[in-house]
C-alpha cells in the first residue's frame, strides 16, 4: 500500500518537473515500485529534487482519498489534493503513512528511463 501510493505521487511530481504524462511501464512489489518513461536523456539529475519534494509531501500528513466513480460502479478514484487518477489498488489514508522514499535511476534502453522507488 505504501509503495503504491508513493508511486502515484512520484508520477505526478515527474509530470510537474518534465511534462511527461505517459509511462511505458510500471510495477509495484513488496520491495520497490518503478515507473518507466521514454525520455531522451538521463533523468538522474532531476531525482534529488523530486525525492525531496516527495518526502516533504509524505511528512505533511495529508489525506489521500479513495472513492467510487459516480457513473461507473466498477471504477474507483485515487485523489491527493489536485492530483487524481483512476485506481483500484489498495492505498494508505494519509501521506504520513508512506514514510520516506529513496529514488534511483536505471537506464532500460536507448531513450528509456526507469525510476525505482524504495521506502526507507
- Other CB atoms within a 10 A radius of the CB of residue 52 amount to 12
| Residue 52 maps to a domain | yes
List the beta bridge partners of residue 106. Answer: 114
Residue 50 is assigned to a structural domain of this protein: yes
Task: Provide the pLDDT for residue 90.
Answer: 87
Please report whether residue 87 resides in a domain. Answer: no
Q: What percent of the chain has pLDDT over 70?
A: 100
> Confidence band (pLDDT; 50, 70, 90) for 88?
confident
Query: Over the stretch 16-75, which tens digit does the pLDDT of each residue have?
Result: 999 888 999 999 999 999 999 999 999 999 999 999 999 999 999 999 999 999 999 899
- Per-residue pLDDT of 7-32, as tens digits, reads 999 999 999 999 888 999 999 999 99
Domain-located, residue 74: no
- Domain holding 114, by residue range, is 2-64+95-119
CA 27 to chain CA mean position, Å? 11
CATH of the domain at 30: 3.30.980.10
Count up the domains in the chain and report the number.
Answer: 1
Nearest one of 100, 102, 110 to 41, comparing CA atoms = 110
Q: Report the C-alpha gap between 84 and 57 in whole angstroms.
A: 15
What is the greatest pairwise CA distance in the chain?
42
Residue 101 lies in a domain: yes
Amino acid at each position: 500500500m505504501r509503495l503504491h501510493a508513493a508511486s502515484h505521487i512520484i508520477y505526478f511530481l515527474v509530470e510537474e518537473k518534465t511534462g511527461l504524462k505517459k509511462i511505458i511501464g510500471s510495477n509495484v512489489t513488496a520491495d520497490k515500485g518503478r515507473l518507466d518513461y521514454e525520455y531522451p536523456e538521463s533523468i538522474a539529475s532531476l531525482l534529488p529534487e523530486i525525492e525531496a519534494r516527495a518526502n516533504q509531501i509524505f511528512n505533511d500528513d495529508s489525506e489521500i482519498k479513495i472513492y467510487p466513480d459516480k457513473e461507473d460502479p466498477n471504477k474507483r478514484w485515487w485523489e491527493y489534493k489536485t492530483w487524481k487518477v483512476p485506481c483500484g489498488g489498495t492505498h494508505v489514508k494519509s501521506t504520513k503513512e508512506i514514510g520516506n522514499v529513496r529514488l534511483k535511476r536505471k537506464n532500460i534502453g536507448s531513450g528509456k528511463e526507469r525510476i525505482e522507488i524504495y521506502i526507507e
